[in-house]
Amino acid sequence: MLSFTARKHTRRVLARSARFLSSGATNAEQPSLLQHVYVHHVSQTVLQHMQDKQSAWLCRHGLDRGLQLASNGTFCLSFPSRPGYDADRVWTWYDPVQKQHWLSVYRHHKIIGRFLLFDSRNTLQTNQPLVIMDEMRRQIGDTVDHMITYIDEHDRKRDNGGQENK
């Protein structure tokens, strides 16, 4: 599943080489299975919450196998692909103008939701950074849970033939 080891702004992520795993490559040709990859702390908090609190949901939807990390510290979780369809996905992104971190959902050929994770402009200045981090983690966790409920409701309406109001 998703696994992180904190080390400043670097996270260790399992990066398998399909070529090595599916061929007769020798040990000398074996690529490193672990690579250091930057994951922004907001994206890491989202992934950690999903792993700790929503792992059954991730597995049920096949998202436990579709993680891609971007060099800017964001991520994309892809639903299993279906022939003839764009891959549905959940991803984080950062708006540098508004200084906001977002979580978005693309499902059934359209964006069905955008969820504000963190607004850097509203960061409190305090001498208690751990309090701020705990509050940020709680808010991000609540947002992730809301997104999951939203996806489930969207899918339920779609499966029942109803049209979601968006």
Stretch 67-86: mean pLDDT, rounded?
90
Token digits of residue 162: 């109803």
Spell out the domain ranges in the chain: 39-159
pLDDT tens digits along 83-105:
777 789 999 999 999 999 999 99
β-bridge mates for residue 34, sequence order: 14
Q: In what order do the strands lie in the sheet with 10-14?
A: 6-7, 10-14, 34-38
Alpha helices (H) in 54-112, listed in sequence order: 55-60
Report how far residue 68's alpha carbon sits from residue 76's, in angstroms, rounded to the nearest whole number: 5
- Specify whether the CB–CB gap between 147 and 113 falls below 8 A: yes
Per-residue pLDDT tens digits for 126-142:
666 777 789 899 999 99
Query: Any idea what DSSP says for residue 88?
Result: P
Q: Which of 20-24, 110-114, 118-122, 161-165 has the highest mean pLDDT?
A: 110-114
The pLDDT of 135-163, averaged and rounded, is: 92
Secondary structure (3-state) at 64: helix
Residue type, 8: K
pLDDT 10s digits, 6-60:
333 333 333 333 333 334 445 555 556 777 889 999 999 999 999 999 999 999 9
Residue 120 has pLDDT above 80, yes or no: yes
